Each structure stands twice: as structure tokens, then as C-alpha cells.
Amino acid sequence: MSSVIESIETLLVDLPTIRPHKLSMTTMACQTLVIVRLRDSDGVEGLGEGTTIGGLAYGPESPESIKRNIDAYLAPLLIGQPADAVATLRARLDRHARGNAIAKSALETALLDAQGKRLRLPMAVLLGGTRHDHLPVLWTLASGDTSRDIDEAFQRLEQRRHCDFKLKIGANGVDDDVRHVAAIKEALGERASVRVDVNQAWDESTAVRGIAALQAAGIDLIEQPICARDHAGLVRLAKRFEVPMLADEAVADARDGFALAAAGFSGAYALKIAKSGGPRGALALGEVAQAAGIGLYGGTLLEGTIGTAASLHAWATLPELAWGSEMFGPLLLEDDIVAEPLAYGEFGVALPQGPGLGVALDEDKLAHYVRR
């Protein structure tokens, strides 16, 4: 008889950040992880993580709602079901529960981690096979202070930790943001690629003015400058400028990716397991992008090590990430809840080894940071 799912536990874990992390919609000084512990009748435990940004500031799911909806609605759909039927169980979740992509991503990750442990295979093998064992990782400069951001960038370069940088803009006026970004690009010169993430803060006319100035300053990529629902505007911006546009919130899943590509978009898509409902959904979006000639970027919702490891296993199966990845979430946190941290270095991160995620919890650290 095959193993069945016996229990699913969710925990809220609050971890302080190394510095305030400023975005267009909020400033973070703490990140809350929703940790899933899925236990099967054969004694195997699968780990998952659901994480968002700034409570409800970023999207419709909060850490508290992720936990509550898993506990009350999603976990009961899985308990008692065959533990190895990952695709069937994901379809069951979608059939009975709308939305809740982050919660579903955490559960799919836990299912895949358990299956990998059961078969003694890395998650990347379950997702199609490993093509890369080291993935590039950029760093987000988000202190909001120009001099501090420049110093931070040079420190990361000297440490050989990161050589690509993204700046979060949109909270200030366009002219102030452009001055800030241009000063950083001028200081770094050709030593590093500099990109910006506007997080939907501009309307289209503001975006035209801002992007023109950013393109002149030598910025390499513009992420989600306008509202996610304004596909037509994003297509117009992509056609108007030489600097590529990166669609993030505009493309949650493969259907979104197909619609935007069919409308004439060119540029890049940010893949995120959280917005696609799990690693398999993110890879489906990646396949649509590749078919349309659209570049790929491995995005994050600032997950901790468990969520970051899940993303890395997915990205490791891709032919390439033309724009790299931003899987730096654990580096933004003062502490961790895993026994062995991810190995960052040489401008990237090593794919975790071992069955499943290749990650184990530090029970003492978990007990210290779990919300009571």
C-alpha cells in the first residue's frame, strides 16, 4: 500500500532583516515565512514555504491568510490522499479552491520534497533534470540612500557575491528616482549591470518619461513599470524603448504569459513559484516564454532558505536564465531556520544537494523564531 498524507502543520516564522528593505509599496524590517511540515504515513516529512512581501502591501495573500487557508481549506483536501500523487493532488487543490497561489506553492513544494526524499532524488530531477548546479544571483539595493547603496554594491563586488544589481524605485518622484539610479550606475560603470523595479508605481505617461531617462543613464532592464493589468500599455512600452521590459506581476502563470506574448510583448518574464502556484506552474510559464522568444528571470518574493531552494531546483532545469535570478532572500535575513545555509559565492549560489530540497530544519532556531 502506498504512503498517504497523515498531517500538515503550518507555522508563522518571523525573521528580522539585515536592514530596512524599501519598496514602492512598503518598507520591510521583518520577513514572515509560512513554513509547512507535511508528514506521510511512511515517516517521510516534506517541507514547504509560503512567503509574501509586507503583509497585504504586495498582494491578496498575507502570511496569516496563507496559514489560515491551508489549515482550514487546503490541508483537509490532501490529508488521507496518496502522498506520491503530486500532479493529482495539485489538480485537486485547484478544483476545490480558487486563487491562493502562495499557499498552493508551499504545499506543492512540501509534496515534491517528500517525494524526493522517498525516492532519494533531488527535486530538480523530479522537475525534469538538473542542467545547472550553480545559478547567478543579483542583489537588490533598497536602503533608499544613494551613498549607502553605492557602498553596498562595491562591497558585494569585492566579496564576489553579486555583480548585477536591482534598485527598487517608485516610492519617490520620477526625477528623484532617476537621479538616484543614475548616480549608482555612474559609480559602478561597466563593472556591474544595473536594473530597476518600479513595482507598478507609474502610469504610462510617467513611465515614458522615466524610462527614457533611465535608458539614457545606461540601465539594462525595467521591471513592471505600470499596473499589472495594463497589458496593452506594457506592450507599447516594450515596443517604444530599446531597454527591455521585465513583466512580473503581469504574468502569474502560463495563460498570462501566452496572452502577453500574443499581444506583441517582447522582453523578459519574471518566474516566481509563489505567483504560479508552485514550481511546476512557474516552469510552465517558462516554457511559454521560451516558445515566444521571451527571456527568463528567476524571481523571488524574498523567501527564506526553503522557498529559495525550491525555486533553485526549478531554475536548475531551465536551458538558461538570460537575465539571471534574484534568489538572495536568505541573505536579507539576520538569521536562518535551517541546519546548513545555502552556499553563496562567485556571483551566484550552489544548487542544494541531497534528496528533495536538500535542506533540513534547525529545530532550535525554528522554535526560537516561530510566532506564538
Beta-carbon neighbour count of residue 348 at 10 Å?
Answer: 22
Cα 72-74-78 angle, rounded to 5 deg: 120
Burial category of 295 from C-beta neighbours within 10 Å (exposed 0-12, middle 13-18, buried 19 and up)? middle
- Which residues belong to the active site? 168, 326
Q: Give 362's strand partners.
A: none
Which grid coordinates are listed for 348? 551566484
Measured between alpha carbons, how far is 285 from 275 in angstroms, rounded to an integer? Answer: 11
Number of DSSP helices (H) and strands (E) in the chain, helices first: 13, 13
Is residue 158 classed exposed, middle or buried when 0-12, 13-18 and 19+ CB atoms within 10 A define those classes?
Answer: exposed
Residues whose CB is less than 8 angstroms from the CB of residue 319 and which lie 6 or more positions away in sequence, other chains included = 131, 290
Cα separation of 234 and 152, whole Å? 31
For residue 314, what is the enclosing H or E element? helix 305-315
Please tell me the distance from the alpha carbon of residue 196 to that of residue 170, in angstroms, as a whole number: 10
Which residue type sits at 230?
A: D
Burial 180-207 (b: 16+ CB within 10 A, else e): bbbebbebbeeebbbbbbbbbbbeeebb
